[in-house]
Structure 1
Amino acid sequence: MKSQAVLAIWVDIDPSDDALFEYWHSREHMQERVGCPGWLRGSRFKGIETPGRYLLLYDAETAATFESDIYYTRLRSPTPMSRAIFPKFRDTWRTVCNVEQRWGDGIGAAALTLRMAAANTAPFDKLAAPETARVDLLAGQSGIGQAHTTEKDLRANTDRQIERALVAFFWSVPAAIAARDRHAPEGEVFALRHTVSKADLEHAQ
């Protein structure tokens, strides 16, 4: 089944914690999340202009995926490593989103993100171009995946939510920067660090 929903997270991590954060996210957290029913892929991107900022994206079958009992059981029983990492999260934006519009598929080497109010017009059509792998227009679902959990308590500040976002994936960082400068100057550019799909986990078993 194709992804109809995305869990989008922007988070700042102190550079001194980068190695531990990336190890945790790649070797434990993505496997734990993508192993849940309905989760299809987890990806981590690192900011270009703001190296301490990360973009974490999880593709799922539907928004209801983020309300499953299995998922909430994991949120309420974090691993020892998760208990060490979540207090390090700063300026966290975390929102379950429906895919309002999509062009292309997969992911690319870089991502351009633009957070916006629901009424704002996104440059979706301008970004659907030969140098782009995929463009998502996301609509935040404020009531989904927001129940009280232990993981939320571990984060120092309350998660903020987006109303709408544009996420465009490119073949290269320079292509993402060029598109940002032309069409979304207030956007942020991130470079891909790691991605894990459901098929990857099944193959490893």
Structure 2
Amino acid sequence: MNAKTDQPADNPIAGPALLGSGIVLVWNDIDEAGREQFYAWHDKEHIPERLAIPGFRRGRRLRRAGHSPEWLTMYEAADLDVMSSPDYMARLNAPTPATTKTLAYFRNTSRAVCRPVFSVGESTGGYVLAMRIDRAESADATPEAYLRDVAFPQAMASTGVLACHLFASDQASFLDTEESRTRTFDVPAWIVLVEASTEEAAERAREWIDAPQLRDAGLRPRADAAVYTLEICRLGAASRAP
């Protein structure tokens, strides 16, 4: 068994709710003039294009209406190597005309290529609490122990919570490509995602995740954490049933 791409279901690093050990997470707003263009491009071109790249297994886009950032997009891949593969780099360095046009409308963007640090749960949900965590310059602490030992078990014991994930951003987030030059974005140090079957369950999980223990350690959960609702989900060819 390939430990990087075919991890067993009980592996705590990348649980069965994830379809691999590499993920790209993108938060963004869209200028009002580009909203229709964004949906046409993202639904019919961008997500299918990404899922056609070898190693990409699932793409999801979620939205929180009236919130900023309004959209969260998640791409799961077999492993981090996919994120610097020749096929992926070829796409990033040759964006389509529609990609270049649409990215000009992006605002308030975060983009992180991530690895799972700790993941529990066996199902995905239609609602996802997404929290970005920054680290104070003087801090060397990580959120892993508190989330693994305290917050995630409490959340998972709550009805409606299906999975909890902690991700750390990777250096691949900072690769210089033609596509990355089309917009400015920041890279959060850590990301927590809580997947739930109801919006209420996802909201309840916030009280365990956004806790004083993190701030005491010099970690800074951003105030714009929100529960996003699934808009579209697409599987890569290798993830579809035969």
1:138 aligns with 2:167: yes
Residues in 2 aligned to 1:125 and 1:22: alpha-carbon distance in whole angstroms: 37
Deviation at 1:49, TM superposition (A): 5.0
- The count of corresponding residues between Structure 1 and Structure 2 is 201
The residue type paired with residue 171 of structure 1 is S
Deviations 1:143-186 (A, max 9, x none): 1153221111221x2x2111111101111223222333565384
8 Å CA contact 2:155, 2:208 repeated in 1: no
Q: 1:23 to 1:107 in 2, by over 3 A?
A: farther
1:153 aligns with 2:170: no
Deviation at 1:61, TM superposition (A): 1.0
Rg (Cα) greater in structure: 2
Deviation at 1:200, TM superposition (A): 8.7
Partner of 2:56: 39
Residues in 2 aligned to 1:7 and 1:105: alpha-carbon distance in whole angstroms: 20
Q: 1:21 to 1:93 in 2, by over 3 A?
A: same
Deviation at 1:83, TM superposition (A): 1.2
TM-score between the two structures when normalised by the length of structure 2: 0.74
1:189 aligns with 2:227: yes
Deviations 1:96-129 (A, max 9, x none): 1111111123421111011113534443222223
Mapping of residues 1-205 of structure 1, within 5 Å = 1=6, 2-48=19-65, 50=67, 53-117=70-134, 119-120=142-143, 121-122=146-147, 123-129=151-157, 130-141=159-170, 143-155=171-183, 157=184, 159-181=185-207, 183-184=209-210, 186=223, 187-199=225-237
Deviation at 1:85, TM superposition (A): 0.6
**Range 165-174 or range 110-119, more displaced:** 110-119
Residues in 2 aligned to 1:48 and 1:181: alpha-carbon distance in whole angstroms: 22
8 Å CA contact 1:67, 1:145 repeated in 2: no
Consecutive unaligned residues of structure 1, counting only runs of 5 or more, are: none
Q: 1:176 to 1:18 in 2, by over 3 A?
A: farther
Residues in 2 aligned to 1:54 and 1:17: alpha-carbon distance in whole angstroms: 14
Residues in 2 aligned to 1:51 and 1:116: alpha-carbon distance in whole angstroms: 16
Deviations 1:47-75 (A, max 9, x none): 24506611111111111110001111111
RMSD after superposition = 2.4
Q: 1:201 to 1:101 in 2, by over 3 A?
A: closer
Consecutive unaligned residues of structure 2, counting only runs of 5 or more, are: 1-5, 7-18, 136-141, 212-222
The residue type paired with residue 154 of structure 2 is K
Residues in 2 aligned to 1:13 and 1:200: alpha-carbon distance in whole angstroms: 31
Residues in 2 aligned to 1:83 and 1:132: alpha-carbon distance in whole angstroms: 38
SS state at 2:200 partner:
helix
Q: 1:74 to 1:6 in 2, by over 3 A?
A: same
